[in-house]
Amino acid sequence: MSDADLKDTSEELEPVRGAYAGAPGDPDDPETDGAETASEPESESLDEDNRLKAEYVRAVKDALDEEDFDRVYELVEPLHPADIADLFELVDSDERPRLANAIRDLMGVEVIAELNDWVREALVEALPADVVASIAGELDTDDAVAMLEDLDEEDQRAVLAEMEPEDRAAIVSALSYPEESAGRMMSRELVAVPETMTVGDLIDYLREHRELPTEFWEVFIVDPMHRPIGTCALSWILRCPRNIPLYDVMAREQTLIPADMDQEEVALRFQKYALISAAVVDDSGRLIGQVTVDDVVHIISEEAGEDTLLLSGAGDGDINEPIRDAWSSRVRWLIANLLTASLASGVIAMFEDTIARMVALATLMPIVAGLGGNAGTQTLAVTVRALAMNQLTASNAWRAVRREMSIALLNGGTVALVIGLAVTLIFGNPMLGGVIAAAMMTNIVIAGMAGVLIPLTLERLNADPAISSSVFVTMTTDSMGFLVFLGLATASGLVG
């Protein structure tokens, strides 16, 4: 990302030298030391994990408090844009506008592009429309969209009004695609040429046309209708003699991304086919943009990390999310669990007499329910992950179920043995030991079944298994745990 933008900007300043002047490594380029530190832990601002040091951040915060803005600038100047973006996340939210002000001319497009969504949204809302517009104008379409899509209608219109007609058109059309779709994340800057060109023609074309992007990894070959018919990795072009026609160089196989494809699907395609960039096409198959892997890596890690948060009901789960939003998404989940928990306690209530006659049961029953819950969560995590990775399909679903059952029997057997013996010895009551062992075994098997069948069913119903599975699984393991344990205790005549 950052490089691309950087090149675009420098290009505006000095079209002639576009590709090489102001390259990130330019001696007179503030960034230089910045990212070098990525490989030099001894840097004064980054620690060995490439995170900004606490002392450094404190120094910046102090300078901000003392309103010593020259000092702030001096401190921030050597940073790589990606680190400046991190810095914004590390200082308190009320310090961010002041920081942005102090380093105004370091607030390049790369910084904006790398900012966390929540932080950027707040910052953008604090800036006047014309400033936002000028930044958006310099950003790649996808980053400009990311910056504007969260603004409310009115602010959005205000900013768009300030923009160049061309940029505005690009952003408006991008915003016309569904959220989190390829149409929103694609960039319109790309190189597309007819197959009749030779390698030589292409190189000359690239050298002559300054308006072309300077950062791209593939050249797309299109037919007269501007439909992609092939793609050339730049390395293939560089390795071919000038006289070779592109139709001999290009790969006809390519993964075309429909503009309305969900970003999660796009990410899976990039992973599966090891793509660096891919052509985005509209309904009529025309090439309208490209998605590049550097944008996809962010989505891959978001989508993959998301499940941890969804399974726990932590919603968006970003530490920069406003407290009120976090509360409303989490509390809903807790209330849902409150209902399922009441169900479990209803089960216990059915056995009050039994408990009254043998209170020890009350002390042991949470173990049966709890372990069942753990076992269920394990199976659930494995299943949800496999579904997300498209590893688990109708073809191997039953094998997965059988597999989880075998593991459940092994786990159940082991745990039942341990708890059975322990209880027998501690309570000196073999009968009680037998009852809890049997209950534990049963509940862990039930847990395994619930852990794999519930997400599979939700997936079949086109619901996201990560979102609601765990409520159902814990409900099952809790209720069944108490039911089986207390039920057996009663039926077995353990309780005289």
Nearer Cβ to its own copies, position 156 or 477? 477
Q: C-beta of 252: minimal distance to its own copies in Å?
A: 3
Please name which of 46, 103, 47, 101 lies closest in space to residue 74, comparing C-alpha atoms. 103
Q: Does 98 bind its own copies (CB under 8 A)?
A: no
Q: Does 313 bind its own copies (CB under 8 A)?
A: yes
- Contact stretch for its own copies (CB under 8 A) within 96-104, 124-132, 158-166, 377-385: 377-385
Q: Does 308 bind its own copies (CB under 8 A)?
A: yes
Token pair 């969804």: residue: 310
The interface with its own copies within residues 200-259 (CB under 8 A) comprises 203, 206-207, 212-217, 230-231, 233-241, 244, 248-258
Q: With left for phi above 0 and alpha for psi between -120 and 50, is residue 428 left, alpha or beta?
A: left
Q: C-beta of 340: minimal distance to its own copies in Å?
A: 8
Q: Does 192 bind its own copies (CB under 8 A)?
A: no
Q: C-beta of 188: minimal distance to its own copies in Å?
A: 16
What amino acid occupies position 267? A
Q: C-beta of 130: minimal distance to its own copies in Å?
A: 28
Q: Does 271 bind its own copies (CB under 8 A)?
A: yes
Please name which of 382, 402, 251 lies closest in space to residue 311, comparing C-alpha atoms. 382
Q: Does 467 bind its own copies (CB under 8 A)?
A: no
Nearer Cβ to its own copies, position 172 or 405? 405
Among 45, 141, 181, 377, binds its own copies (CB under 8 A): 377
Asked if 19 and 30 count as a contact pair (C-beta separation under 8 A), the reply is no
Structure-token pair, residue 397: 């679903």
The interface with its own copies within residues 407-466 (CB under 8 A) comprises 407, 410-411, 414-415, 418-419, 422, 444
Q: C-beta of 491: minimal distance to its own copies in Å?
A: 19
Task: Compute the C-alpha angle 362/367/372, nearest 5°.
Answer: 130
Strand pairing category for 277-281 and 257-258: parallel
What amino acid occupies position 40? E
Q: Does 16 bind its own copies (CB under 8 A)?
A: no
Q: Does 31 bind its own copies (CB under 8 A)?
A: yes
Q: Does 106 bind its own copies (CB under 8 A)?
A: no
- Contact stretch for its own copies (CB under 8 A) within 131-139, 163-171, 181-189, 302-310: 302-310
Count the residues of the shown chain that bind its own copies, applying the rule CB under 8 A: 169
The interface with its own copies within residues 339-358 (CB under 8 A) comprises 341-342, 344-346, 348-349, 352, 355-356
The interface with its own copies within residues 142-181 (CB under 8 A) comprises none
The interface with its own copies within residues 51-80 (CB under 8 A) comprises 51-52, 54, 57-58, 80
Q: Does 311 bind its own copies (CB under 8 A)?
A: yes
Cα separation of 226 and 236, whole Å?
22
Asked if 268 and 220 count as a contact pair (C-beta separation under 8 A), the reply is no
The interface with its own copies within residues 120-139 (CB under 8 A) comprises none
Q: C-beta of 82: minimal distance to its own copies in Å?
A: 5
What amino acid occupies position 64? L
